[in-house]
Chain A
Amino acid sequence: MQKARTYKPALFLLLLLVLAALVLNISLGSVSIPLDEILAVLFNGQVSRESWRYIILEYRIPKALTSILAGSGLAVSGMLMQTMFRNPLAGPYVLGLSSGASLGVALVLMGAGLFGGLFSGFLLSGWGLVIASSIGSLLVLLAVMLASIRLKDTMAILIIGLMFASLSSAVVSVLAYFSPAAELQQYIFWSFGSVGDLTWSEVGVLGFFWMMGTGLAILSIKNLNSLLLGEQYARSLGMNINRNRAILIISTSFLAGSITAFAGPIAFIGLAVPHLIRQVVPANDHRILLPAVILGGAALMLICDTAAQMPGSEYTLPINAITSLVGAPVVIWLLVRKRKFLF
């Protein structure tokens, strides 16, 4: 195992990158607010327009925090899944979490024809979609967990996750087929993902789940390192494979499930960031990888969100498109230069 000291400069640079991205993210948006006004808001000074104070404090900062939580959380869960499945193409959604969430949301948004007024008013609270998405993820997770108890082979869980994803997307397709344009549009917009429009209390809830998920990941660092050498070897080191597997699945579910509930199914960040980080910080030790991935995920998400806001323009782009625009070339690039592939 490498010494942590060797990577300290890299981690420090990543931290600086996150801070720079954070400043950029808060200072740029559809409405151009001069930098000194932003500083005035942050340090409680005089602002020439009260609405600017509101935009900064109640919109941009919660949005930036959501970006940090979502980016880092997805990157951590992606890393956990890649290590657990020993598969470089695993990501936070291989367990079918996002498909479960999509199904829950689709039932609420487009299932009106099936359930009549059952869900109406449910959406009013503002928590409706969050709850629907969480229940969907939870049900898929329980199914995968039940299956995983019976399975000896970790790889089979990967396939089961994929199958659940296909099942729920089939139901979503049927619902979408019979839905009027307006409802379909709402569902599509949800599936584009968004880190904006979260209130402080929602950011708080997201932060709580983030701590739980990341906490479990930190507790598993030693086991993750053993897993890199193969399940047999890990077992010989005295690791309880099944228990460890359950902990990793629960950690991923806390992270990916809560992020999907609040920000929609954000693609690729979870898949791409661990690979990106391995290029910058070529470490196998999860004591270094974990903080590096957290910082990398946060920085990338902040940058993607800043780009999605298209500063100065009144239009915004869906965050999902931007993360994929960044993520997909990374994956392609990784596969093409497989010679130096680090995993």
Chain B
Amino acid sequence: MSNQNFRPKVNKYVYVAPEILNNLTFGLEMDLLQNIKFLLILLLLSACKSDNKEAEITFTAEGIEIPVDYASGFSLTDFGDFKLVVVKDPWPDAGRSFTYVLAEKGAEIPSSLKYDQKITIPVKNMVVTSTTHVASLEILEEEETLTGFPGLDYISSQRTRQNIAEGKIRELGQNEILNTEVLLDLQPDVVIGFSIDGGNKSLNMVQKSGIPVVLNGDWTETSPLGKAEWIKFFGAFYNKIDEASSFFEDVEQDYLEAKTLAGLAKNRPTVLSGAMYKDQWYLPAGESWQARFIRDAHADYLFSNTGGSGSLSLSMENVLAEAQDADFWVGPAQFHSYNELQQASPHYQKFSAFQERNVFTFSSEKGETGGVIFYELGPVRPDLVLKDLVSIFHPYLLPDHQTTFYKPLE
């Protein structure tokens, strides 16, 4: 499928051409690379000289880079009956990339192509390891292909819960120690795993048994739209890149509109996040995904000058000194009510966001088995997350917005 109805945006092409050359050096031998370079030059020439339609025809014959505009962790190239997915740095400082060939039955893969894993598509029997992946499958209407998952209770979406109730999805234990026997018994076409440092022993074992393991790095993306763009990565496994792209374009448009709207706000309220465990305050670092949302919602995250994309652990004193007067407090860990906060630590009362009742949490919206919906759906619907935050920080901009994830503390 896909070639005849794929429409590359030629303007974008001219813009990303140097990147394409770089991306394709992963695992490609020189002769193939030369071909692609030649084709690219052709494309550039045709883009200059002729209209879009001709460029399309010239280019469908060989590898077409699917535009990936925000995500930095993967690239996608369509070669007709097979696709090349390159995942870069699937965990922080990995220092290497992984090349996956997604091939339809009978596709001829050039022997010069070097890759880590080959997967037959469209995938009929899939194992994923994060609830975010489950949300992506549902968006692509492929939740029926999901046959195993570690920690079924974390899944909240009703459609997939229905499949679990019908016994179509097997429990695989926990991500760090997957139940190897059940996984081997399932014989999935592919396991979409993630690794926080490349040392997941169960995944290594599965891979050795001949079941392809593909590492997903969506969790390392710090840009909200970048994280959401990984829907295209999942689309590739089902020959549904077009569907994924069009879904993403809608999300992108909504997100950018909400961001522009937030920019109209007169003020930039100050924001605090996280909560204490014992006397350490755990909060998102300044370059993290959560911090980016706060910035895009036209507010000042008080710890935005801290580097790093993970989480910070600061002393209570430090946070109190910095953020006592913060206007808003979003995402106070597991707490759902002011009472709980107060009981956990009397220090929380000192914050003006607490006194003014301006604390909002995303962890109170849960599925029927206790999974936090935000973790499942938030990454693929950044538009909804941003709208929630804009409506909290600047209520007059979105007066009728019903928040999806963020709710005020009780």
Chains A and B are bound partners: yes
Chain A 32-70, CB-CB to B under 8 Å as 1, else 0, gives 000000000000000001011011001110000000000
Inter-subunit contact B95/A182 (CB<8 Å) = no
Inter-subunit contact B179/A128 (CB<8 Å) = no
CB contacts under 8 Å to A, within B186-221, are 186-187, 196-199, 201-202, 204-205, 208-209
The chain B residue sitting closest to A188, CB to CB, is B176
On whether A129 and B171 interact (CB within 8 A), knowing A55-B181, A59-B181, the answer reads: no
Chain B 298-323, CB-CB to A under 8 Å as 1, else 0, gives 00000000000011010000000000
Count of residues in A whose CB is under 8 Å from the partner chain: 37
Is B87 among interface residues, defined by CB-CB distance under 8 A? no
Is A31 among interface residues, defined by CB-CB distance under 8 A? yes
Inter-subunit contact A197/B199 (CB<8 Å) = no
Inter-subunit contact B176/A189 (CB<8 Å) = yes
Inter-subunit contact B179/A30 (CB<8 Å) = yes
What's the nearest-Cβ distance from chain B to residue A23, in Å?
A: 17
Q: Give the residue among A30, A58, A180, A194 with the most B Cβ atoms within 10 A.
A: A30
On whether A109 and B197 interact (CB within 8 A), knowing A29-B181, A52-B185, A55-B185, the answer reads: yes
The chain A residue sitting closest to B93, CB to CB, is A117
Is A333 among interface residues, defined by CB-CB distance under 8 A? no
The chain B residue sitting closest to A318, CB to CB, is B177
In the docked arrangement, what's the CA distance between A109 and B181, Å? Answer: 25
Inter-subunit contact B201/A126 (CB<8 Å) = yes
Is A112 among interface residues, defined by CB-CB distance under 8 A? yes
Is B170 among interface residues, defined by CB-CB distance under 8 A? yes
On whether A178 and B180 interact (CB within 8 A), knowing A51-B185, A120-B197, A121-B94, the answer reads: no
In the docked arrangement, what's the CA distance between A30 and B196, Å? Answer: 26
Inter-subunit contact A31/B182 (CB<8 Å) = yes
In the docked arrangement, what's the CA distance between A315 and B96, Å? Answer: 34
What's the nearest-Cβ distance from chain B to residue A156, in Å?
A: 38
On whether A30 and B201 interact (CB within 8 A), knowing A178-B313, A189-B177, A316-B177, the answer reads: no
What's the nearest-Cβ distance from chain A to residue B134, in Å?
A: 18
Inter-subunit contact A55/B184 (CB<8 Å) = yes
Inter-subunit contact B176/A30 (CB<8 Å) = no
The chain A residue sitting closest to B219, CB to CB, is A182
Partner of B171, one of A59, A108, A186, A315: A315
Is A185 among interface residues, defined by CB-CB distance under 8 A? yes
Inter-subunit contact A197/B201 (CB<8 Å) = yes
Inter-subunit contact A186/B197 (CB<8 Å) = yes
Inter-subunit contact A186/B95 (CB<8 Å) = no
A60 contacts which chain B residues (CB < 8 A)?
A: 181
In the docked arrangement, what's the CA distance between A67 and B186, Å? Answer: 25
Inter-subunit contact A196/B199 (CB<8 Å) = no
Is A314 among interface residues, defined by CB-CB distance under 8 A? yes
Is B172 among interface residues, defined by CB-CB distance under 8 A? yes
B201 contacts which chain A residues (CB < 8 A)?
A: 126, 129, 194, 197
B313 contacts which chain A residues (CB < 8 A)?
A: 178
CB contacts under 8 Å to B, within A161-183, are 178, 180, 182-183
27 pairs of residues in contact across A and B, judged by CB atoms under 8 Å? A29-B181, A30-B181, A31-B184, A31-B185, A51-B184, A51-B185, A51-B187, A52-B185, A55-B181, A58-B209, A59-B184, A60-B181, A108-B199, A112-B197, A117-B93, A120-B92, A120-B197, A121-B95, A123-B197, A178-B313, A180-B310, A194-B201, A197-B201, A197-B202, A197-B204, A197-B205, A314-B179
Name B residues whose Cβ lies closer than 8 Å to a Cβ of A: 91-96, 170-174, 176-177, 179-182, 184-187, 196-199, 201-202, 204-205, 208-209, 310-311, 313
Name A residues whose Cβ lies closer than 8 Å to a Cβ of B: 29-31, 49, 51-52, 54-55, 58-60, 108-109, 112, 116-117, 120-121, 123-124, 126, 128-129, 178, 180, 182-183, 185-186, 189, 194, 196-197, 199, 314-316
Name 14 extra pairs, CB < 8 A, besides A58-B208, A315-B173. A30-B179, A31-B184, A52-B185, A59-B180, A59-B181, A112-B197, A120-B91, A124-B198, A129-B201, A186-B197, A189-B177, A196-B180, A314-B170, A314-B179
